């Protein structure tokens, strides 16, 4: 299934089912008013949602309308919990080499993860308002999963059964603010503004054979101001999402609606480019002694999309501008 959240003026929006080709949508609020409600009651609503989704794809459903990605919010506009990993080891290795950092003990056996802010996710077409270009504005292309309730001590094998939806993310980062927060051992807070999500969240079966071993085995194509920036492959993820879930649930349960991110998609093969500016700058620092690429400026646009191997649509595209934030609250 493919699900989205219509921006109806409310804080959590209205649940939609979206056709496989992202051409049509239908209201599903009578089954579950919001995506959070659907995940909370997945076992009792899944069959009805799938029945309506199948009818939508057959073209036999009254009430269907053209799907407009400009009219949707993030699939889950706010989450009880947002946990982001760093599961592509080539990205961490580049950062260490570029900045002469000591290796992190156990990085190959224990996932890196931080708890971010999930209270204000952005939709795929919403502008990204930020206060200053001096903060080092960067995009980060990622994949993520959304789970139902996960019990404490859940194993990695059991965790696969708790993954309800797969998502595509732009985890916006402010690089100039990150070093101090990392040194203190607290954060991220200021260095991570609101993350953005592709228009639809999909059940794992929608990925076909691209979903295996708890990973999205597809390239994520990234463009910056209309120019190719990279297409690193999600299959290079060192820890699968099931392992991230088990790591997070070692000492506590995870509430239904928790989202876990992969971290920046990155490949050891540098010819595929990058999914964030910081990585390109690290490559330049290693090769040339100094970065040549600047960070984003107001008015810049970033586009991210992962498609099936046959070119058919999956999550839809993230396509956003960075803009100057408005005046602060009085």
* Nearest CA-CA partner of 165 in 85, 237, 257, 255: 257
User: Do 17 and 61 belong together in one domain?
Assistant: yes
User: Do 130 and 31 belong together in one domain?
Assistant: no
On whether residue 330 sits in a domain, the answer given is: no
Calculate what percentage of the chain has a pLDDT beyond 90.
88
Q: What is the pLDDT of residue 150?
A: 98
- pLDDT confidence tier of residue 187, bands split at 50, 70 and 90: confident
Better-predicted residue by pLDDT, 196 or 328: 196
Q: Note the pLDDT tens digit of each residue in 134-172.
A: 999 999 999 999 999 999 999 999 999 999 999 999 999
Residue 41 predicted with pLDDT over 70: yes
On whether residue 159 sits in a domain, the answer given is: yes
Mean pLDDT of 47-72: 97
User: Do 281 and 228 belong together in one domain?
Assistant: yes
Q: What is the pLDDT of residue 42?
A: 98
* Nearest CA-CA partner of 278 in 295, 263, 290, 297: 295
Q: What is the pLDDT of residue 74?
A: 98
Contact 113, 236 (CB under 8 A): no
Three-state DSSP state, 212: strand
User: Do 113 and 22 belong together in one domain?
Assistant: no
| 257 to 37, 98, 232: CA distances (angstroms) | 9, 36, 27
Contact 195, 188 (CB under 8 A): no
- Tally of domains within the chain: 2
Q: Note the pLDDT tens digit of each residue in 262-286.
A: 999 999 999 999 999 999 999 999 9
Contact 94, 286 (CB under 8 A): yes
Q: What is the pLDDT of residue 137?
A: 98
- pLDDT confidence tier of residue 10, bands split at 50, 70 and 90: very high
Which residue range is the domain that position 35 belongs to? 2-70
Beta-carbon contacts of residue 130 (< 8 Å; ≥ 6 apart) = 137, 172, 174, 193, 322, 323, 324, 325
Q: What is the pLDDT of residue 180?
A: 87
- Last residue of a domain, which of 49, 70, 91? 70
User: Do 222 and 271 belong together in one domain?
Assistant: yes
């Amino acid at each position: 299934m493919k699900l989205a959240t219509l921006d109806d003026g409310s804080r959590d929006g209205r649940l939609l089912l979206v056709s496989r080709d992202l051409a049509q949508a239908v209201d599903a609020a009578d089954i579950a008013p919001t995506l959070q409600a659907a995940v909370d009651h997945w076992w009792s609503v899944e069959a009805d949602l799938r029945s309506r989704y199948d009818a939508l794809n057959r073209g036999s459903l009254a009430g269907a309308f053209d799907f407009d990605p400009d009219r949707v919010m993030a699939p889950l506009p706010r989450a009880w919990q947002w946990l982001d990993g760093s599961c592509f080891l080539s990205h961490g290795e580049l950062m260490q080499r570029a900045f002469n950092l000591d290796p992190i003990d156990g990085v190959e056996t224990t996932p890196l993860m931080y708890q971010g802010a999930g209270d204000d996710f952005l939709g795929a077409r919403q502008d990204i308002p930020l206060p200053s270009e001096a903060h080092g504005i960067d995009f980060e292309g990622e994949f993520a999963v959304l789970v139902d309730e996960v019990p404490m001590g859940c194993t990695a094998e059991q965790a696969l059964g708790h993954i309800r939806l797969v998502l595509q993310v732009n985890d916006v980062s402010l690089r100039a603010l990150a070093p101090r927060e990392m040194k203190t051992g607290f954060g991220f807070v200021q260095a991570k503004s609101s993350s953005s999500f592709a228009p639809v969240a999909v059940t794992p079966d929608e990925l076909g054979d691209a979903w295996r071993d708890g990973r999205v085995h597809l390239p994520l194509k990234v463009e910056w101001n209309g120019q190719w920036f990279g297409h690193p492959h999600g299959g290079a993820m060192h820890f699968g999402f099931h392992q991230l879930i088990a790591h997070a649930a070692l000492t506590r349960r995870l509430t239904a609606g928790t989202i876990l991110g992969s971290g920046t998609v990155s490949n050891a093969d540098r010819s595929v480019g990058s999914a964030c500016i910081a990585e390109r700058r690290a490559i330049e620092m290693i090769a040339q002694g100094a970065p040549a690429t600047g960070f984003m400026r107001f008015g810049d646009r970033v586009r991210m999309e992962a498609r099936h191997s046959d070119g058919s649509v999956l999550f839809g595209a993230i396509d956003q501008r960075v803009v100057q934030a408005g005046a602060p609250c009085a």
